[in-house]
């Protein structure tokens, strides 16, 4: 399911127009993205938790030359599904 299909399903389920459903879906995604960017956790009961995950700096290897390089620390968004979602 892509974003358009999700928007259509929300519109049908909530009995609203696709334009309004699209605004609601965008608002939810923007809110979750903003919270994760601010390193806050977003927990939705029965669904899961969105959070920022940091991968520490490490040493890597350039596959083309075999040279050792430093890979910097990186922070990205992560999702941990709730047990109710895992059971589906």
Asked if residue 54 lies in contact with residue 47, where contact means CB atoms within 8 angstroms, the answer is: no
pLDDT tens by residue, 17-50: 999 999 999 999 999 999 999 999 999 999 999 9
CATH number of 42-88: 4.10.520.10
Query: What pTM was computed for the model?
Result: 0.78
Length of the chain as a residue count: 88
Mean pLDDT computed over every residue of the chain:
95
Position 57 scores a pLDDT of: 96
β pairing state of 74-81 and 48-55: antiparallel
In 3D space, the residue among 73, 75, 78 whose CA is nearest the CA of residue 32 turns out to be: 78
Residue 74 has pLDDT above 90, yes or no: yes
Alpha-carbon gap, residue 67 to 82, rounded angstroms: 42
**H/E stretch holding 81:** strand 74-81
């Amino acid at each position: 399911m892509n974003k358009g299909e999700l928007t259509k399903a929300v519109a049908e389920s909530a009995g609203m127009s696709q334009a309004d459903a699209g605004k609601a879906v965008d608002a939810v995604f923007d809110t979750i993205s903003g919270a994760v960017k601010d390193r806050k956790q977003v927990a939705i009961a029965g669904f899961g938790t969105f959070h920022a995950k940091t991968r520490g700096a490490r040493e890597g290897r350039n596959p083309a030359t075999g040279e050792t390089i430093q890979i910097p620390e990186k922070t990205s968004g992560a999702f941990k599904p709730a047990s109710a979602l895992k059971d589906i």
